Amino acid sequence: MHKFAIGVLGASGYAGRELCELVARHPAARLAFATASDRQGTRARFGGTETTFVAVEDAKLGEAQLVFSALPHGASAQWVDAAHDAGAKVVDLSADLRPGNGGSAESAEGFALAMARAPYGLTEHARDIVRSAEIVANPGCYPTVTLLALLPLVVRGLVAPGATITVNAASGVTGAGFTPKRELMFAEVADDFRPYSMGNSHRHLAEMRAVLASLGCDVDLIFTPHLLPVARGILATITVPLAEPLADVLAPWREHYAGEPFIEVSAEIPSLKDVVHRNVVRITATMAEGVRTPTVIVVAAIDNLVKGAAGQALQNANLLLGLEETLGLPV
Amino acid sequence: MHKFAIGVLGASGYAGRELCELVARHPAARLAFATASDRQGTRARFGGTETTFVAVEDAKLGEAQLVFSALPHGASAQWVDAAHDAGAKVVDLSADLRPGNGGSAESAEGFALAMARAPYGLTEHARDIVRSAEIVANPGCYPTVTLLALLPLVVRGLVAPGATITVNAASGVTGAGFTPKRELMFAEVADDFRPYSMGNSHRHLAEMRAVLASLGCDVDLIFTPHLLPVARGILATITVPLAEPLADVLAPWREHYAGEPFIEVSAEIPSLKDVVHRNVVRITATMAEGVRTPTVIVVAAIDNLVKGAAGQALQNANLLLGLEETLGLPV
Amino acid sequence: MHKFAIGVLGASGYAGRELCELVARHPAARLAFATASDRQGTRARFGGTETTFVAVEDAKLGEAQLVFSALPHGASAQWVDAAHDAGAKVVDLSADLRPGNGGSAESAEGFALAMARAPYGLTEHARDIVRSAEIVANPGCYPTVTLLALLPLVVRGLVAPGATITVNAASGVTGAGFTPKRELMFAEVADDFRPYSMGNSHRHLAEMRAVLASLGCDVDLIFTPHLLPVARGILATITVPLAEPLADVLAPWREHYAGEPFIEVSAEIPSLKDVVHRNVVRITATMAEGVRTPTVIVVAAIDNLVKGAAGQALQNANLLLGLEETLGLPV
Amino acid sequence: MHKFAIGVLGASGYAGRELCELVARHPAARLAFATASDRQGTRARFGGTETTFVAVEDAKLGEAQLVFSALPHGASAQWVDAAHDAGAKVVDLSADLRPGNGGSAESAEGFALAMARAPYGLTEHARDIVRSAEIVANPGCYPTVTLLALLPLVVRGLVAPGATITVNAASGVTGAGFTPKRELMFAEVADDFRPYSMGNSHRHLAEMRAVLASLGCDVDLIFTPHLLPVARGILATITVPLAEPLADVLAPWREHYAGEPFIEVSAEIPSLKDVVHRNVVRITATMAEGVRTPTVIVVAAIDNLVKGAAGQALQNANLLLGLEETLGLPV
């Protein structure tokens, strides 16, 4: 099979390493280069093959048909442009080009502007736009799990207008990156659990609000992330006030995602174990008993490094390259 | 110092062992007996002293000034009565006598009836009633953390009438007991996280609703517990719609709990590490930004085996015995 | 590709589930049946396909070209015979047919007798015998890692005659099986570490001694296993007194295992992370400095459920079926 | 009770924080100052009391009756001298003054020289010398557990002359310090296990050899430490060839440590759970079956931060101050 040349910018973090691993094992791709400015010249094995990290400045952008950028927020946009100018298609895993970030407002207009520059690659929601794009803004991990859980309710107009949706999410520590910090050391995280970015201060909120606004959904979000003593996985527990009770509670998800290869809707409660190392979202929903406002509780789980980062990025890359969407993706 | 004779019924579970340990180290108490029907005759060390477990039928109830029952729900009430008939004061850690359980409805009337039989020992809320009681129903772990977090808002009438309060709580596995089950084995729990009792089906809800009803609080609760891959600790993240925004967000808790030895109100976000092995609740609160309904997010953490079980039970026992409330309790 | 029909006896334990998963994803195999007497009639998903567990008595042994038995020790041998009588080749993961177990002594003669009935499938050591066998006794997890670490020294006669080899090994809890026991519950294992079967009382010793005796190796073994707070993986630290110092310490392993697809010899110290979910052994060795008896320290790591159980079993099955040895095995 | 003023140098690491906590809760001590150069001016709570960290240069050494130094190896000795010159007794937790380190050789003579400057505070071995000292070199964590396990055999001359003793030890990550490093991050350590300092290259070896040499013990040591995915605790599994088999295997330890408040000798196998947060060593021993050289396997466990660091330091400090040796120490 022909192998596309793929470059990875920012390959030494958790998402970057996951990308390199997926590319190296992909049946129609090969790792053309991997940059890691702080490890320049060191070697790493991905999928059984050795690679030598180069500095981002030394990456031969022109030799890649597609480039992933897993560079830090703020540092990525310029390299996305450089790779694109060099002739590559690009999937940007940073927040730089996502709606609600950078210059774009958290509004329907802001969303349209951001999409015009780089479609927001929530693949199941934007498959056709992604397919014909040159640059894709890959969603954040929390927005991926939250938006995929909410979309079936939102597009069907089932959410109570003006309601407050409460999102409590918990993530493994790889979501916090690979830069050594005291609060991420083993003895600090083990046996512990805590929220952070309380009071709606997490930067991923803008992205979620912008997407909901683009769909004309009139709701408020309260989003509280938590840090779990696990390496991988995100689970979100979402409470949604509805206009009407749902007779068949899973029906909106089953209909909306019929035939989707990476979305598993089930009456079983998902757990991190069901999704780690897989490019899937697992979703369940239950009506809350004993409350006057009809309310559905939706639970969704993903691997933050796969469906929440590198896996979804590769899913988008497959579309950009005209390949089968599921190729090389772990289910 | 004079040492009160204390008996523990159901001493081989996690809460029972914690009780024995606390009693053995208490400056004014000694462990008179400890029952464990399935380990009858085996020995265990608590606080450096050896004890031989006896069958519950063989416990010399009459020799104890106070008896703790950590027997399973349903099996406890009869032994509470037997101990009381034998002359002991009793703290019951099971749900049998708690409001909302057994015969009592989740209403203000049901609460009053349950309290008449055995005061509900949420110590900071019911200190004076406990002090003059003979039998105390010790609160469950989830209700302890949830109610202590909510009380300052509820008694001040700050909650929006008719609102839905969303409680997402996560507990360590000792909360699920010491009976061997596949889903509690190490390899099943490690690296995982999942909700359970979704849709408002957890049996602790009745207890929480009954207490809120007794205070005339017109709200609905949505309570979703989760299982954490840690041994100990509960953290609850609670979203409360308010009638008015709070100018000084921590003021209700600071005022309500002024001088309380076991309640720590802080602008710092609590984590399990702050509370394990201690008989404290740590609470913080933040107003949610960017939402139309004024909403406060309250986070509270306890050790499920200490403040959520054995510690609070001993706090109540100290009151029943006329001792200093804080005696022998780890802070 | 033609798909061989494969049956799994004892499919609900950790090794059995791993076998079903490997078979379901194998390019030249399909899962014909899976037995689980205590879960008869329940369904499970392996590799994306649903299977309904049957009782072992109801397994259609005659429909499988090859049967794996992951039944408990003592209960397996009879079903191995039944499957073989029904026309299937068999890989037995229990200890029943292994040398040193059952009737066979821990001697060269006992080894020969056991091998005559069912070759001991330490694949890299017995590839040719396995290839022409009908029934294979799959090695235990501790013997796999220990013997693969020692073989290069033993077959070259490098071990000091009469010496004592010290094996300290540590295993994840899946090695202790899936039967619920208090000592395997999360809150008991987490944050803990302890040896077991101290004083050379572990049942795997017989198997190791029999293999070493079959090679004419005159040594004593001291084997102390430990329980790690992890789900998967075994690491063994082995101290071997030598007749002479090794000039090139890794040379015996590099030579002995040249070209082996599943053995990684490296100057880097192996860790569990390097081997979990892979069918490999990683080995390093270092001479001990500052001691008078020349002594090499060998460290080897495997995934106890893959190379230590289901993976090696499939490696043997590939040989029995005339397939490429590496087919369907994760590296 | 009179409270001695105690200072802690290097109070922000794991051992330093443990020291501050112990001092703050000690019935006859108070925390006079705590230095943390990188956190100067920040506040911390120890034992319910707030302290403000100062730079080491600003510590009022002269106001303390006793100073603990938990400064890094190499940086400690000068401050030990400064504190002593200012009139304080000193317990140094660094390796700077320990035998086998700095200028002293790993020999009986080197040991004597080191002891002359600062007695090696393995308390149970050196109680009388410590009592009359001004400065004590507090043992390392690995030497503490290893030497306390070996001493009863060594002083009775039970070890086979010229034999090789194999020490395999595994430690929780707090033993590696609080400086942020990638290999100590949660996602790197969780689910993993690996040896380090293979081949007798660990710096604690010198200290162990020096003590054994001082007792005229003619043995070689092979010491291989491992990193456990736990926060606290060390367990050592030690194989000792003997001159003769032991008839009563635990007798040497039971006799040698009769009446010792912090040493627990038991036929039960110790585990980390038995010792964490306690100032104890738990020891068991078993003769190895089926080997020609009589060999005893000794297993010992400690909390690396308590008996392996801050607890033993306080035990020594109690002696230096003329207090009851057990005062303020958790059992």
pLDDT digits (tens, 9 = 90+) for C22-72: 999 999 999 999 999 888 999 999 987 899 999 999 999 999 999 999 999
Q: Is B157 left (phi over 0), alpha (psi -120 to 50) or beta?
A: left
Residue of A nearest to C330 (CA): A47
Q: Do residue C272 and residue D166 have CB atoms under 8 angstroms apart?
A: no
Q: Which of A244, A237, A210 is nearest to A297 (CA)?
A: A237
Q: How many CB pairs under 8 A join A and C?
A: 5
Strand intervals (E) in chain D? 4-9, 29-34, 43-46, 49-52, 66-69, 89-92, 135-137, 164-171, 194-195, 220-227, 234-241, 263-265, 281-287, 295-302
Q: Do residue B173 and residue C187 have CB atoms under 8 angstroms apart?
A: yes
pLDDT of residue C210 exceeding 70: yes
Question: Least CB-CB distance to A48: which of C190, C191, C331?
Answer: C331
**What are the structure tokens assigned to C6, written together?**
């494969």
Chains that touch A (3 or more CB pairs under 8 A): B, C, D
Question: Least CB-CB distance to B185: which of C185, C230, C232?
Answer: C185
Q: Do residue A186 and residue D173 have CB atoms under 8 angstroms apart?
A: yes
pLDDT of residue D103 exceeding 70: no
Q: Quickly state the pLDDT bin for D222 (edges 50, 70, 90).
A: very high
Specify the pairing of strand A164-171 against strand A220-227: parallel
Q: Do residue A331 and residue C48 have CB atoms under 8 angstroms apart?
A: yes
Q: Which of A11, A114, A141, A280 is catalytic?
A: A141
Give the ipTM.
0.96
Q: Quickly state the pLDDT bin for C103 (edges 50, 70, 90).
A: low
Quote the CA–CA distance of C175 and A18 in Å, as a whole number.
Answer: 28
The per-residue pLDDT for range B314-330, each reduced to its tens digit, is: 999 999 999 999 999 99
Question: Least CB-CB distance to A286: which of B198, B288, B290?
Answer: B198
Residue of C nearest to A274 (CA): C45
Chains that touch D (3 or more CB pairs under 8 A): A, B, C
Helix (H) or strand (E) holding B92: strand B89-92
Q: Do residue A331 and residue C191 have CB atoms under 8 angstroms apart?
A: no
**pLDDT given at position B103:** 64
Q: Do residue B205 and residue A290 have CB atoms under 8 angstroms apart?
A: yes
- With contact defined as beta carbons under 8 Å apart, do C200 and C142 qualify? no
pLDDT of residue C226 exceeding 80: yes
Q: Quickly state the pLDDT bin for B101 (edges 50, 70, 90).
A: confident
Q: Which of C241, C213, C271 is nearest to C153 (CA)?
A: C241
Quote the CA–CA distance of C89 and C4 in Å, as a whole number.
Answer: 11
Percent over 90 (pLDDT), chain C = 91
The per-residue pLDDT for range B5-22, each reduced to its tens digit, is: 999 999 999 999 999 999
Contacts of B263 in chain D (CB under 8 A): none
Contacts of B48 in chain D (CB under 8 A): 331
- With contact defined as beta carbons under 8 Å apart, do D288 and D295 qualify? yes
Contacts of D232 in chain C (CB under 8 A): 191
For helices D14-25 and D311-320, angle between their N-to-C axes, nearest 10 degrees: 50
The distance from CA B61 to its chain's CA centroid, rounded to whole angstroms, is: 24
How far is the alpha carbon of B165 from chain A, nearest alpha carbon, in Å?
10
How far is the alpha carbon of D229 from chain C, nearest alpha carbon, in Å?
7
Q: Quickly state the pLDDT bin for D47 (edges 50, 70, 90).
A: confident
pLDDT of residue D199 exceeding 70: yes
The per-residue pLDDT for range D235-265, each reduced to its tens digit, is: 999 999 999 999 999 999 999 999 999 999 9
- With contact defined as beta carbons under 8 Å apart, do D228 and C228 qualify? yes
Question: Least CB-CB distance to D182: which of A178, A182, A230?
Answer: A178
How far is the alpha carbon of D46 from chain A, nearest alpha carbon, in Å?
17
| Those residues with Cβ within 8 angstroms of residue C144's Cβ, 6 or more apart along the chain or in another chain | C122, C281, C302, C307, C308, C312
The per-residue pLDDT for range C153-207, each reduced to its tens digit, is: 999 999 999 999 999 999 999 999 999 999 999 999 999 999 999 999 998 999 9
For residue B211, the tally of other CB atoms under 10 A from its CB is: 27
Residue of D nearest to B190 (CA): D191
Chains that touch B (3 or more CB pairs under 8 A): A, C, D
Residue of A nearest to C46 (CA): A331
| Those residues with Cβ within 8 angstroms of residue A316's Cβ, 6 or more apart along the chain or in another chain | A91, A121, A123, A130, A136, A138
Q: Do residue D190 and residue A190 have CB atoms under 8 angstroms apart?
A: yes
DSSP B54: B
Quote the CA–CA distance of D90 and D79 in Å, as a whole number.
Answer: 10
Helix (H) or strand (E) holding D294: none
Q: How many CB pairs under 8 A join B and D?
A: 5
Q: Quickly state the pLDDT bin for B215 (edges 50, 70, 90).
A: very high
Contacts of B230 in chain C (CB under 8 A): 190
Quote the CA–CA distance of C33 and C55 in Å, as a whole number.
Answer: 10
Average pLDDT of span D62-77 = 96
**What are the structure tokens assigned to A276, written together?**
């780690």
Contacts of A331 in chain C (CB under 8 A): 48
**Three-class HEC string of B124-174:** HHHHHHHHCCCEEECCCHHHHHHHHHHHHHHHCCCECCCCEEEEEEEECHH
DSSP D232: S
Residue indicated by tokens 């929903």? A285
**What are the structure tokens assigned to B323, written together?**
């001792």
How far is the alpha carbon of C328 from chain D, nearest alpha carbon, in Å?
25
Residue of C nearest to D224 (CA): C237
Strand intervals (E) in chain A? 4-9, 29-34, 43-46, 49-52, 66-69, 89-92, 135-137, 164-171, 194-195, 220-227, 234-241, 263-265, 281-287, 295-302
Contacts of D172 in chain A (CB under 8 A): 187
Residue of B nearest to A241 (CA): B164
Contacts of C331 in chain A (CB under 8 A): 48
- With contact defined as beta carbons under 8 Å apart, do B148 and B123 qualify? no
Q: Do residue D331 and residue B48 have CB atoms under 8 angstroms apart?
A: yes
How far is the alpha carbon of B191 from chain A, nearest alpha carbon, in Å?
5
DSSP B101: S
Which residue ranges form the domains of chain A, and what is each CATH number? 4-139+308-320 (3.40.50.720), 141-304 (3.30.360.10)
- With contact defined as beta carbons under 8 Å apart, do D95 and D207 qualify? yes
Q: Which of D176, D280, D288 is nearest to D228 (CA)?
A: D176
Q: Which residues of chain B approach chain C closer than 8 Å at the C-beta?
A: 14, 172-174, 178, 180-182, 184-191, 229-232
Q: Do residue B269 and residue A194 have CB atoms under 8 angstroms apart?
A: yes
| Those residues with Cβ within 8 angstroms of residue A15's Cβ, 6 or more apart along the chain or in another chain | A70, A93, A305, A309, A310
Question: Least CB-CB distance to D191: which of B48, B191, B331?
Answer: B191
For residue C3, the tally of other CB atoms under 10 A from its CB is: 14
Q: Do residue D48 and residue B331 have CB atoms under 8 angstroms apart?
A: yes
| Those residues with Cβ within 8 angstroms of residue A247's Cβ, 6 or more apart along the chain or in another chain | none
How far is the alpha carbon of C65 from chain B, nearest alpha carbon, in Å?
32
Q: Which of D26, D127, D70 is nearest to D310 (CA)?
A: D70
Q: Quickly state the pLDDT bin for C108 (edges 50, 70, 90).
A: confident
Quote the CA–CA distance of A261 and A309 in Å, as a whole number.
Answer: 17
Q: Do residue C185 and residue B188 have CB atoms under 8 angstroms apart?
A: no
Q: Do residue C199 and residue D287 have CB atoms under 8 angstroms apart?
A: yes
User: DSSP per residue over A277-329, as a string?
Assistant: TSS-EEEEEEEPTT-SS-EEEEEEEE-TTIIIIIHHHHHHHHHHTT--TTTT-
Mean pLDDT by runs of 10 across the 331 residues of chain A is: 94 96 96 93 89 96 97 95 98 94 75 87 97 97 98 98 97 95 97 97 93 95 98 98 97 98 97 97 98 98 98 98 97 89
**pLDDT given at position C115:** 84
Q: Which of C31, C93, C114, C141 is catalytic?
A: C141
Q: Which of B29, B82, B141, B159 is catalytic?
A: B141
What is the arrangement of strands in the sheet containing A164-171, beginning at the earlier edge strand?
A194-195, A220-227, A164-171, A234-241, A295-302, A281-287, A263-265
The model carries a pTM of: 0.96
Residue of B nearest to A272 (CA): B192
Contacts of B226 in chain A (CB under 8 A): 170, 235, 237
Instruction: Show contacts of C176-180: CB within 8 Å, 24+ apart.
Output: C176/C227, C177/C13, C177/C14, C178/B182, C178/B185, C178/C12, C178/C13, C178/C14, C180/B180, C180/B181, C180/B182, C180/B184, C180/B185
Q: Which of B171, B212, B226, B295 to mutate to test the interface with A (most CBs of A within 10 A)?
A: B226
**What are the structure tokens assigned to A81, written together?**
């442009």
Instruction: Just list the catalytic residues of D.
Output: 141
Q: Quickly state the pLDDT bin for B115 (edges 50, 70, 90).
A: confident
Quote the CA–CA distance of D195 and A225 in Å, as a whole number.
Answer: 35
**pLDDT given at position C48:** 79
Q: How many CB pairs under 8 A join C and D?
A: 156
Helix (H) or strand (E) holding C221: strand C220-227
How far is the alpha carbon of D268 from chain A, nearest alpha carbon, in Å?
27
- Burial category of D44 from C-beta neighbours within 10 Å (exposed 0-12, middle 13-18, buried 19 and up): middle
pLDDT of residue B111 exceeding 90: no
